[in-house]
Structure 1
Amino acid sequence: MNTSGPQVEVRRSARRRRTVSAFWEDGVAVVAVPGHLSAAEEREWVQKMVPKLQRKREQNARKTGGGASGDQELMEHARELSARYLNGRAQPKIIKWVNNQNTRWGSATPSHESIRISDKIRGMPQWVIDYVILHELGHLLVAGHNAKFWQLLEAYPHTDRAKAFLDGAAFAASRGLTGEAGLD
């Protein structure tokens, strides 16, 4: 492990044949490699993949204005919301701001326990942001939008108000309205 760089974990997989991937997990750079690689090949891949991973994180941070610290704050806030409204049952492994979601405020992948929150909600009232985070946390527990899912969100007092706010924001965005023009 290089003390000047990020902490690195190598995961070998007998099922993985040719591909090597790298991703962040709780602040650790994880490099997934085929189980048959030699120690030298493993080191070579780590030296190749970790800098790529760091560059990608830096690029995302510049694009979204968030980055690792923003994502860490997002994770801490999501854990607080889960504890307060979902009895701590929803525990994402990853939650991050993204700038490539143009039709959704957030999305969740329950199988990976990951959540992505659109940077388009930055600047919206905190009770709206909290609703979006809670909505996606709920999807870690219930995949669809059935009655069981909506029961999870009943504890949050601003659910209906936040849904209405987001509907209005989506309506305005679809018509190119910016909110700068007012009524006379």
Structure 2
Amino acid sequence: MPSPSVPAVTRGGLPIEVRRSARRKRTVNAVFRDGVAVVSIPAHFTRAQEADWVQRMVDRLETRAAAAPAPDPERAETELLRHAAELSDQYLGGAAKPVSVRWVSNQNSRWGSATPARGTIRLSDKLIGMPPWVVDYVLLHELAHLIEASHSPRFWRLLESYPQTETAKAFLSGAAYASARGLKGEMTED
């Protein structure tokens, strides 16, 4: 009898990556990451156990994804604008008053951008999933541009009150470095 095999792609056509870990003893985990279904299993699993668990976990991922409500872009923009106003009040004394804040998918070399004359802010959708304090830093950075267009000393003084500025800048530098080299996902125990 032939041994069961792991499918190469999900029903939705996404590739499946199986990660075996010697440190993982009993648990199995699955996530969608960067367009790939990543299934982590214990290294000691037989090929039959692997095939069984991968199928189960991919089915769960796809069921969960299908049940998730479709994102509402208008609500997302309303939430971003509200959050931007809160950040402006908390860290910029309410001086930055954006007219719109939205996610965009066409920013490949910037985390965000602002048009001071229009009061608009655009955030790269590559920020989605990053820690909230990183997204807040980028949003604050763009809010500061509504007050001071250049990266002058005055601009950087505006960001001094945000306690995570340097940490967020370091995080984004690391993310940019990894992205430029095609590195994906998170560190694992394998």
User: Given the two structures, how large is their TM-score scaled by the length of structure 2?
Assistant: 0.61
Note if 1:134 corresponds to 2:140. yes
* Bigger Rg over Cα: 2
* Aligned counterpart for 1:69 among listed residues 69, 75, 91: 75
Q: Secondary structure at the match of 2:102?
A: strand
Match of 1:94 in 2: 100
Structure 1 residue 133 displacement after superposition: 0.2
Q: Distance in 1 between matches of 2:135 and 2:74?
A: 19
Match of 1:149 in 2: 155
1:10-159 correspondence to structure 2 within 5 Å: 65-159=71-165
Q: Secondary structure at the match of 2:117?
A: helix
Report if the CA contact (8 A) 1:66-1:97 is conserved. no
Root mean square deviation of aligned Cα: 1.4
* Aligned counterpart for 1:175 among listed residues 170, 178, 181: 181
Q: Distance in 2 between matches of 1:165 and 1:181?
A: 14
Higher helix proportion (structure 1 or 2)? 1
Amino acid at match of 2:169: K
Q: Deviations over 1:95-114 (max 9, x none)?
A: 11111111110000001110
User: Given the two structures, how large is their TM-score scaled by the length of structure 1?
Assistant: 0.63
In structure 1, stretches of 5+ residues that fail to align are: 1-61
Q: Secondary structure at the match of 1:73?
A: helix
Change (3 A) 1:125 1:181: closer
Aligned residues: 121
